[in-house]
Structure 1
Amino acid sequence: MTGTPAGGRRLGPLLVLSGAAGLLASWVITLDEFKLLKNPRFVPGCSLNPVVSCGSVMKSDQASVFGFPNPMLGLVAYGIVVCVGMSLLVGARFPGWYWLLFWAGCLFGIGFVSWLQFESLYRIDALCLWCCLAWAATILIFWYVTSAVVRHGFLPAPGWLRTFFAEFTWVLALLHAGVVGMLVLTRWWDFWTS
């Protein structure tokens, strides 16, 4: 089966914009990582207080899981997302295996971001605003690509689920982001309210 998931013309702009947001976040964090390598006392501009402290996040072990700074992975991954989105905008059609491979990458991305969220909230005890932008972008990308592959039949699903995704993908993305927001709020409730 070959084709563009239903609503590909709508999926294209979403992928371009959310991919660009993730790309921007990855780029800024990468530049700050380089500055931090040159000067260990460098304080990133987004280090605003003890909670919103990009420097604390960048200096953590979790910031280089694969032996290099995580945002470098983001530069590649979000770049691919932007390319797929641009391709959809100009009418490209991809085979089913391509969409499944792309979805698998999105699944890895949301899993990795979820782990980073947990680590940031409960191990590092700090937030990075640019990371939060990348988290939001990844949540949108994951749910809308999942919706597209389910609705188009690349992932087997019952009819009611296809209908649900056709109407309510935005609800899943909003709920996911809301849960993360509530975890952030409750984790530092005392800080935010003092």
Structure 2
Amino acid sequence: MTAVRRAPVGTGGREAGGADSLTCVGARRSFGLLLVITAALGLLGSFMITVDKFELLADPGFVPACSLNPVLSCTDVMRSEQASVFGFPNPLIGLIAFGVVLGAGAGLLAGARYRPWYWRGLNLGTLAGAVFCMWLMAQALYEIGALCLWCVLVWVATVFMFWHTTLHNLRHGVLRAPRALVAAALEFPLVVPVAWCLVIAMLILIRFLSYWQTLL
């Protein structure tokens, strides 16, 4: 196996041909484990939503266990048009996409290395997933007016998956960026995903503030 050449941190892949000259790129064990964990959580959320959706189709009176109150109501979310954007239940996409990521993460834990085009594809896929999740979040908050806890789990898992895949690609020069930006991102790897999730929590709190106040 050809030895892996890694670009120095912050070079953005500009050394002697950049990332495109690499035969393949491996990853730290911690990153492989993160992919496995986030993909497993995404699969769990997608699976539970899919099961409840089938139950709801079979029995319109069925109430999912995650429907706890008017705000945390999986039933309202599952019955919405946004729950089947492409003509079939959204979680079916998650079952496929998270399965692919889980396989990639397991491969990394076993020592696998992938070509740069694969890493870019994984980055693009996780970006698309993050954008889709944020659109679904906006729909849940401002159109449907209810939340699904399993959906929230999927959103958080996707955010961490996307950001850490981006960090991996920046570290190895698969993606190009200014040296200072790369160094800052690698120095504080949790700032962006944690801040992202805190913004989601704040939006949820503000949107349903009147309901939370009735519980006090």
Into which bin does the TM-score normalised by the smaller protein fall?
over 0.9
The reply to whether residue 85 of structure 1 matches residue 123 of structure 2 is no
Q: Displacement, 1:190?
A: 1.3
CA distance, structure 2, for counterparts of residue 76 and residue 113 of structure 1:
15
Q: How many residues align?
A: 193
Q: Identity of counterpart residues, as a percentage?
A: 49
Is the 8 Å Cα contact of residues 143 and 173 (structure 1) preserved in structure 2? yes
Which region of structure 1 is more displaced relative to structure 2, 66-75 or 165-174? Answer: 165-174
Q: What is residue 125 of structure 2 aligned with on the other side?
A: 105
Q: What is residue 89 of structure 2 aligned with on the other side?
A: 69
Cα distance change, pair 193–3 in 1 and its aligned pair in 2 (3 A):
farther
Q: What is residue 54 of structure 1 aligned with on the other side?
A: 74
Is the 8 Å Cα contact of residues 15 and 81 (structure 1) preserved in structure 2? yes
Q: What is residue 131 of structure 1 aligned with on the other side?
A: 151
The reply to whether residue 38 of structure 1 matches residue 64 of structure 2 is no
CA distance, structure 1, for counterparts of residue 103 and residue 28 of structure 2:
14
TM superposition score normalised by structure 1: 0.97
Is the 8 Å Cα contact of residues 2 and 93 (structure 1) preserved in structure 2? no
Question: In structure 1, what residue type is equivalent to 2:24?
Answer: G
Question: In structure 1, what residue type is equivalent to 2:56?
Answer: L
Q: What is residue 173 of structure 1 aligned with on the other side?
A: 193
Q: What is residue 2 of structure 1 aligned with on the other side?
A: 23
Q: Displacement, 1:81?
A: 1.1
The reply to whether residue 143 of structure 1 matches residue 163 of structure 2 is yes
Question: In structure 1, what residue type is equivalent to 2:74?
Answer: C
TM superposition score normalised by structure 2: 0.87
Q: What is residue 203 of structure 2 aligned with on the other side?
A: 183
CA RMSD in angstroms, aligned pairs only: 1.0
Q: What is residue 15 of structure 2 aligned with on the other side?
A: none
CA distance, structure 2, for counterparts of residue 124 and residue 2 of structure 1:
48
1:109-145 CA distance string (max 9 Å, x none): 0010010000000000000000000011001101100
1:133-171 CA distance string (max 9 Å, x none): 001100110110011111211111111122122121211
Cα distance change, pair 193–2 in 1 and its aligned pair in 2 (3 A):
farther
Q: What is residue 14 of structure 2 aligned with on the other side?
A: none
Residue segments in structure 1 that go unaligned for 5+ positions in a row: none
- Partner SS for 2:189: helix
The reply to whether residue 121 of structure 1 matches residue 141 of structure 2 is yes
CA distance, structure 2, for counterparts of residue 38 and residue 2 of structure 1:
51
CA distance, structure 1, for counterparts of residue 109 and residue 25 of structure 2:
11
Q: Displacement, 1:179?
A: 0.5
CA distance, structure 1, for counterparts of residue 35 and residue 169 of structure 2:
14
Q: What is residue 19 of structure 1 aligned with on the other side?
A: 39
- Structure 2 residue aligned with 1:162, among 182, 185, 189? 182
